[in-house]
Homo-oligomer: A and B are copies of this chain.
Amino acid sequence: MSAGAAKSPLIAMRGAGYYSSNTAGAKSVIDSAADLALEAIAGLDLPAGPGPFSIADFGAADGGTSLDLMRRVVGALRERAADLPITLTYTDLPGNDFSALFGMLQAEGGLGRAPGVFAFASGTTFYRQIVPDGTLHFGFSATAMHWLSRSPGLIADHTHAVGASPAETEAYRTQSLADWETILLARARELASGGVLVMANFSVDDDGHYLGWTGGVNMHDSFAAHWRALAADGTLRAEEYRAAAFQQYYKTRDEFAAPFADPQSPVRRAGLTLERIFSRVTPCPYRADFERHGDAQAFARAYVPTLRSWSESTFFSALDTGRPIEERRAIIDRFYGACEDAVAADPAGHAMDYVHCFMVIRKA
């Protein structure tokens, strides 16, 4: 769930490993994508020349969640070609914590130190081309591309497009479809012939389910309700209440597939074809832990920080910068405190199940 959109105060992750250690769910998704990646790579011709086999992780954050997948991919390539040079390029926004990324990669035993492996970072939005034309062999992205390149506008009485009015939703949808084409055309330029993209993006599935809404308590409605309560009790000013809106949109499978439908579409003409697409729900690991231990307090204490890791920047940046920073921090602490108290008091139905659309895309 990393930020990959154009720079925006709304999009920022907490650094120093906070992200990975609080996102066991994200890692679980990537692990379940690893088989897909290995299969896609097995059918891929290795570079004929002396040049490296080039791998990129788009919107990689600190690289922690995709590490096992990358190890497996590198291992599979090593079996086919003992001396093949391999580059790993991790991309995210300029403000990403690249020191945490390199600290992990370059530690003793780190993947960046494996023989013939060369690790790089690019602090470049994935809405732009990141590597030179025709040089990418395997591109990966997980849980990053729901972040939009720009804000489509305010959401009057909710904090996410999933709860917005029809007109607001349409603005988010339009931006998301344009962004998706931009992403695909940039990757089309980057990919070598035969190269492959494996993606797992947040999505609305055929049951209408999405992140945090799979039939129990709706996580986004809960966020909106707690935020509304802070407006109702006078903590938030009217403009702060309105300003909180995730710069995100969850596309349906049909929306993800649309650019590939027409052979004359820009994406198809750029050489991309959609080889596989399917939805999958990944159960919330914190909820699963709770089912085992039954301790509602412990559940709330473990669960809410994972929500906070990716949502905090949106709420924080809605606050008036005229307030002292300590005051803003206190409001945000109160907000997540209320979220945690609600979960602890009545844990039934709380879960941040992940709903992903998995895709395999190949360049002709």
Contact = CB atoms under 8 A, between A and B. Distances in A.
A297 interface: no
A272 interface: no
Residue among A52, A102, A119, A128 facing the most chain B CB atoms (10 A cut-off):
A102
Contact of A99 (B96, B102, B112, B124): B96
B106 A118 contact: no
A50 B94 contact: no
A interface majority secondary structure? loop
A132 interface: yes
A101 interface: yes
A278 interface: no
A1 interface: no
Nearest to A124: B106
A59 to B, nearest CB: 14
Contacts of A124: 102, 106, 112, 119
A96 B116 CA distance: 23
A99 B89 contact: no
Interface string A75-110: 000000000010101000011111101110110000
A295 interface: no
B85 A133 contact: yes
Contact of A98 (B50, B85, B116, B123): B123
Nearest to A190: B118
A121 B105 CA distance: 13
A133 B52 CA distance: 9
Contacts of A128: 113
Among A97, A105, A122: residue with most chain B CB under 10 A: A122
B118 A120 contact: no
A133 B86 CA distance: 11
A89 B7 CA distance: 21
Interface string A50-67: 111000000000000000
Given A94-B103, A106-B125, 5 more contacts: A95-B103, A102-B124, A103-B123, A118-B132, A120-B122
B123 A99 contact: yes
Nearest to A84: B132
Contact of A102 (B101, B113, B123, B132): B123
A305 interface: no
A118 B99 CA distance: 20
Given A94-B103, A135-B52, A121 B118 contact: no
Contacts of A130: 118
A131 interface: yes
5 contacts: A49-B49, A50-B133, A94-B105, A106-B125, A118-B130
A21 B73 CA distance: 42
Interface in A307-363: none
A121 B119 CA distance: 9
Q: Which of A113, A119, A120 has the most CB of B within 10 A?
A: A120
Contact of A120 (B52, B99, B112, B120): B120
B99 A132 contact: no
